[in-house]
Amino acid sequence: MYIQQLYTGCLSEAAYYIESDGEAAVIDPLRDIDEYLQLAQERKSKIKYIFETHFHADFVSGHIDLASATGATIVYGPETITNFPVHVAKDCEKFTIGKICIEVLHTPGHTLESSCYLLKDENNKDHAIFTGDTLFVGDVGRPDLAQKGEILTTNDLAGMMYESIQQKIIPLADDVILYPAHGAGSSCGKNLGPETFSTIGEQKQSNYALQQQTKEDFIKAVTEGLSAPPQYFPINAKINKEGYESIHAITEKGLKPLTVKDFKEKINNEELIILDTRNADQFVNGFVPGSIFIGLEGRFAEWAGSLLAFDKPILLITEEGKEKETIVRLSRVGFEKFEGYLQGGFEAWKAAGEKLDLLINVEADELAMDIPFDENLVIVDVRKEAEYADGHIKQAMNIPLLELVDPASMANFDDHHNIYIHCAGGYRSVIASSLIKRQGIHNIRNVEGGWNKINELKDRFEIEKSVEVLN
């Protein structure tokens, strides 16, 4: 028996490759499937099954392309309805892989079709459980993602989750290994732990959702404090349910090199998105006017899915050689409308003598010096509300990055304002600055190092907390 977790950090997503005696299964594959094909080839195994724990909302699965490439059967749990061929398993149905087997445990709550897969070893002993978004390390899946057409409330799904945990998870032996679909940073739960695997016994000790409690108390615990899910979640869930275009076709379409002349013509003739994925330090020193910055070095695909429109074509500006990576990572969260990329990148645009824009970087101590003497100074903190509440500059207004999708969030900015923008470390503030500049507001300064640097100089700022939010 062989198990490999294939973890993608920028999405906090775990897929799994399981193998026994020349047969293999993949659980929750990403849209780019080459890694699974290569692994099976290297290990001289044939992929027999593709198990999906549910209709994922935070990424587009590779189930359809992987099934097409291997002939494997796609398996979903009970109550699944799709627009493509799948095997809808019964609760407790078993599937043989070499000398081991996987048992389907229907665990509705995160979604109706959510299911866990219990792996039994060569001796038919429970060895590991792949829980998808039902159970995480330190958390459970959010119960507020009912799909369109389902007459269910968040409390309804949370109640189902309680029953699933009580009936299917808690009876498992303590030594059963827990393999969830996500780790820390995922928006599929409230507060996932940093580990990407655990044991049922450890979770019985530490996970709030597995403690002895009434159904009412459980519902309250899992529903309180839920932030709004990212805007792309229902889009991705719909794609996973209805099907999608092959990633190879999307990549081929996106990998179209455009000369500076062709690039300019597209900008002038179409309502589209110019997406610059270079490093933040490169972007601030010069970019094509109107570009939106989302750098590959951060939680790239998640921010793209949360901030960009899916119905608009995308033109790419990347570091040379990063074009395919950019397209693949965007396709993971459902983007498909690619118009090509700027051949030669930003340097080609610059060499052609085209108009440039840039962003002024300032250090935290410069902000501290300017505050007492500039009556037009406006500080914009683009961190999440909870981050802001835990400590912020007294004069700062909080506009979380996600709110800047709406131009109305910038309605209070005037031409005479000197706007200083910061986040925690500098990545989100550059994204925010690009969004604000796109609206024609240019008197912006990005605070390098963000709150981390500001907090190091806290004696030079008036710092306060929002106690009412923290409580």
DSSP per residue over 24-40, as a string?
Answer: EEEES-BS--HHHHHHH
217 with 180, same domain? Answer: yes
218 with 253, same domain? Answer: no
In terms of residue numbers, what domain contains 329? Answer: 245-351
- The alpha-helical segments, DSSP class H, found in 190-230 are 200-206, 215-223
Tokens of 111: 């979604």
275 with 310, same domain? Answer: yes
309 with 227, same domain? Answer: no
61 with 155, same domain? Answer: yes
385 with 408, same domain? Answer: yes
Instruction: State which of 236, 253, 271 marks the end of a domain.
Output: 236
116 with 184, same domain? Answer: yes
* pLDDT (0 to 100) of residue 252: 92
Measured between alpha carbons, how far is 413 from 429 in angstroms, rounded to an integer?
Answer: 16
Helix (H) or strand (E) holding 59: none
83 with 202, same domain? Answer: yes
Listed in order, strand segments (DSSP E) in 107-182 are 115-120, 126-132, 135-136, 139-140, 177-180
346 with 376, same domain? Answer: no
Question: Residue 305 contacts by C-beta under 8 Å, 6 or more apart in sequence?
Answer: 230, 231, 232, 235, 236, 333, 334, 335
* pLDDT (0 to 100) of residue 467: 66
Residue 257 sits in a domain of what CATH number? 3.40.250.10
pLDDT in tens, the chain (471 residues): 999 999 999 899 999 999 999 999 999 999 999 999 999 999 999 999 999 999 999 999 999 999 999 999 999 999 999 999 999 999 999 999 999 999 999 999 999 999 999 999 999 999 999 999 999 999 999 999 877 667 789 999 999 999 999 999 999 999 999 999 999 989 898 889 999 999 999 999 999 999 999 999 999 999 998 888 888 999 999 999 999 999 999 999 999 999 999 999 999 877 899 999 999 999 999 999 999 999 999 899 999 999 999 999 999 999 999 999 999 999 999 999 999 999 999 999 999 999 999 999 999 999 999 999 888 999 999 999 999 999 999 999 999 999 998 889 988 888 889 999 999 999 999 999 999 999 999 999 999 999 999 999 989 999 999 866 544
Residue 147, SS3? coil
* pLDDT (0 to 100) of residue 269: 73
Measured between alpha carbons, how far is 410 from 393 in angstroms, rounded to an integer?
Answer: 19
Residue 119 sits in a domain of what CATH number? 3.60.15.10
265 with 401, same domain? Answer: no
* pLDDT (0 to 100) of residue 468: 60
Side chain identity at 91, as an amino acid letter?
Answer: D
Instruction: State which of 329, 351, 373 marks the end of a domain.
Output: 351
Instruction: State which of 351, 385, 419 marks the end of a domain.
Output: 351
**Alpha carbon 135 to chain centroid distance?**
18
**Alpha carbon 218 to chain centroid distance?**
26
Give the global pTM.
0.92
Split into its structural domains, the chain has a count of: 3
292 with 364, same domain? Answer: no
256 with 340, same domain? Answer: yes
| Neighbour count for residue 265 (Cβ, 10 Å) | 12
